[in-house]
Structure 1
């Protein structure tokens, strides 16, 4: 196989294709192919080249992959924020026909949704996490390097507080906006 490009339909001198040999390597070939390969120099040569070509891929696949720093903590914090605490009192909004109760989880999801909408007006700022309850919601942000951190965080907090008050009125939770990570310029 002097040509290093792979064509699964390429037919070897013995009549077998490279695609059939791949089936053999994947342990999904019929037993008669196994018997043929044991005596066929063409198939053996092609398999040796395929094996050599895939050796680096197999080595790489065996390498352990570490999860990014803080991934587990961020995922658990997000799940806790959406799942909420047991027995947490809902937000109650008085309406003309009675009271509307909004669960803690809905408050966190609403805050997250409003924050994502607000962040469309703040290029270089990304939502990292949103957790909390009906009393206070914590919003964690990632900000691109060189943006003015305190000013961005303060502006986003003001906009988010106003958006929550517009939807929930006096029942809006407090909002804590934190910058938890800074990205290098040119990412995303």
Structure 2
């Protein structure tokens, strides 16, 4: 592979995402990204200071692609929030290995700040303010990140659920029954149902 004369932040982020998609977050390193773009590790340091900066580029690449435009006002505030949440799910879901990076870099992500601003605007229009609005935003952020992580790394229908379904019905009757029923719940139903439950709890 010929060595590029220069690398843009977007090219670096794309290379890092390719590494994460192929090898998982554990495989991300300056060396791996350097190999991805066809240059030496030392040469890569001409463009970026360290892995932390690389991670930040990755997060901005993924979250920066999210459409943060507030949805049309003809729907309910819950429906508008759902649209924004699903935009994040679609973008991050294409690269689930980056989820831990969102937790680490969320306060420095311009993309996430723009998304949060749109969400807070809708919550404000719905009558949530002060402490209620703080809690609502944090709950939504926690739900989005956690649900995406569970969907790709430990869904209700995964091996762990099968193990729980086999627990003693005498000792764990409710848990074992719930796990057995979880076999019929797909990722979309789980995500939509959880989000709807959360939003109903926010009603003023």
Q: Same fold (TM over 0.5)?
A: no
Structure with larger Rg: 1
The structure where helix makes up a greater share of residues is: 2
Higher relative contact order (CA 8 A, sep 6+): 2
TM-score band by shorter chain is under 0.3
The structure where strand makes up a greater share of residues is: 1
